[in-house]
Amino acid sequence: MAEAPIRRRVVVHGRVQGVFFRDTVRRLAESRGVAGWARNTAEGTVETVLEGPADAVSELVAFCEQGPARAAVERIEVAEEPPEGLRGFSTA
């Protein structure tokens, strides 16, 4: 039996725009079978929704705590949400 997917919404605060945060999350998500999206917000944060196997989603949430090399993450907010059956990963 396949593991039930989970979904997390993550908002990342700090120097997180213009440092390839969204693209890095997309590449990691695609390589781990996680669906969702990532976008820059007007507040200067990056918001991402991650949906897939619990271990892979947890790994991506942990990545968001650090970010790519040029990022300076100050804090993240993580919210549990019901899965919607997303497919693929997009950045906006």
Please report the pLDDT score of residue 1 as a whole number.
Answer: 53
Write down all domains in the chain, each with its CATH number in brackets. Answer: 6-91 (3.30.70.100)
Please report the pLDDT score of residue 33 as a whole number.
Answer: 96
In degrees to the nearest 10, what's the CA dihedral of 37, 43, 44, 49?
Answer: -20
Stretches where the chain sits below pLDDT 50 are: none
pTM of the predicted protein model: 0.94
Please report the pLDDT score of residue 79 as a whole number.
Answer: 98
What is d(CA 50, CA 41) in angstroms, rounded to the nearest whole number?
A: 17
Residues labelled catalytic: 22, 40
Please report the pLDDT score of residue 67 as a whole number.
Answer: 96
Residues 68-90: pLDDT tens digits? 999 999 999 999 999 999 999 99
* C-alpha distance from residue 90 to each of 2, 3, 82 (Å): 24, 23, 19
For 29-40, the three-class secondary structure string (H helix, E strand, C coil) is: HHHCCCEEEEEE
